[in-house]
Amino acid sequence: MTQPTDIRRALALRLLDGYCCQGGAGKGYHDAGFEVTGVDKDPQTRYPLAFHQGDAIEFIREFGAGFDFIHVSPPCQHDSDCQRIQGNTHPDLIAPTRNALNATGRPWTMENVRGAAAKLQSPVVLCGTMFGLKTYRHRYFETGGGFTLTQPEHPAHTAPQAKMGRPVPAGYFGQYVGNFSGVQQARNILEVPWMNRDGIRECVPPAYTRYIGRVAQAHLRPALGVTA
C-alpha cells in the first residue's frame, strides 16, 4: 500500500545523488538519514544504495523536483591537474548542471575539486582534518535552492603529505589519486570499504556528506513540518 506523502516524509527525506559513481557522497547522506537514489551514466555495481543508470541532467530535469534535496558531483576530469597534464578533454558539465538544479526549485549542493573551484559560486571547502580523517582531500561545495552551508573552521595541515599516488610513509597523509598504491589503506582512511581503486580516486569521503546531510536535515525538516 502506498503511504501518504507526509508519513513517508516522517520516515525519510528523499535525496538524489547525481553523478554518483561508487557512492562516497551517497553513503554519507544515507548515514545522515536520507533515502538516497544514485544516478550515473555508467553501471555502478558497487553503488550501495538504490541506483538508476542514465544521464544526470536529464534525470534532474525529469525527476529532480520530486526529491527533497539534490547532491551532484559532475565529473572533475575536465578540471583535475592530472588530466590536464595528460591532455585529456572532457565536457564541462558544471553550468548546465546548475541550470537543471535551479529549474527544480529544490535545495541542492554541487561538489567539485580545487581545479574547478573558480567555476563554483561561493563554495565551502571541506577537508579530512575537519572530520578526524588522515587525509586532506579538499572538496568544494556550492549550494543553491535556498540551502546554505557555513564554512567550518579549517584545522592547520600539520602532517606531511605523501606524493600523489605514492605509498604513504608512517606519519604522512596519503593522496589517493591516479593509479595509486594502497587500496586497502585508502578504504580504511576514507571509510569506503566497498570501493575499488576507480571509485576511491573519485570519491567524496562519506564523512563530508554526513556533515552536509545533517545540516540539510535541519534545514528541511522544519520547512516540511516534520520532526526527526
Ligand X SMILES: C[S@@+](CC[C@H](N)C(=O)[O-])C[C@H]1O[C@@H](n2cnc3c(N)ncnc32)[C@H](O)[C@@H]1O
- From 21-29, 81-89, 126-134, 172-180, span contacting ligand X (CB under 6 A): 21-29
Report, in angstroms and rounded to the nearest whole number, the Rg of the chain calculated over CA atoms.
17
Choosing from 16, 23, 30, 32, the residue that interacts with ligand X (CB under 6 A) is: 23
How many residues sit in the footprint of ligand X (CB under 6 A)? Answer: 20
- Specify whether the backbone of 90 is left (phi greater than 0), alpha (psi in -120 to 50) or beta: beta
For 161-175, what is the HEC assignment?
Answer: ECCCCCCCCCCCECC
Task: Write down the least CB distance from residue 97 to ligand X, Å.
Answer: 9
Q: Interface with ligand X includes 19 (CB under 6 A)?
A: yes
Q: Which residue's entry shows cell 597534464?
A: 85
Does 97 interact with ligand X (rule: CB under 6 A)? no
Asked if 21 touches ligand X (CB under 6 A), the answer is yes
Which residue among 16, 25, 49, 94 contacts ligand X (CB under 6 A)?
25
Of 9 and 78, nearer to ligand X (C-beta) is: 78
223 touches 217 (CB < 8 A): no
Question: Closest residue to ligand X, Cβ-based?
Answer: 24
Helix, strand, or coil (residue 186):
helix
3-state SS of the chain: helix, strand, coil percent to 5?
A: 40, 15, 45
* Identified binder of ligand X from the candidate list 9, 24, 110, 190, rule CB under 6 A: 24
Of 16, 20, 100, 220, which one interacts with ligand X (CB under 6 A)? 20
CB-wise, 9 or 174, nearer to ligand X? 174
Please tell me whether residue 202 binds ligand X under the rule CB under 6 A: yes
Rounded Cα distance, 103 and 123, in Å: 20
Window 39 to 68, contacts with ligand X (CB under 6 A):
39-42, 55-56
| Closer residue to ligand X (CB): 192 or 220 | 192
Residue 79 to residue 116: CA distance in whole angstroms: 5
Instruction: Pick the piece of the chain touching ligand X (CB under 6 A) from 1-9, 163-171, 195-203, 217-225.
Output: 195-203
Stretch that binds ligand X, among 1-9, 23-31, 60-68, 217-225 (CB under 6 A): 23-31
CB-CB contact of 191 with 176 (8 Å)? no
Relative to beta strand 108-112, strand 139-144 is antiparallel
Burial class (CB in 10 A: 0-12, 13-18, 19+), 47: buried
Residue 128 binds ligand X, judged by CB under 6 A: no
Residues that bind ligand X (CB under 6 A): 19-25, 39-42, 55-56, 73, 75-76, 199, 202-204
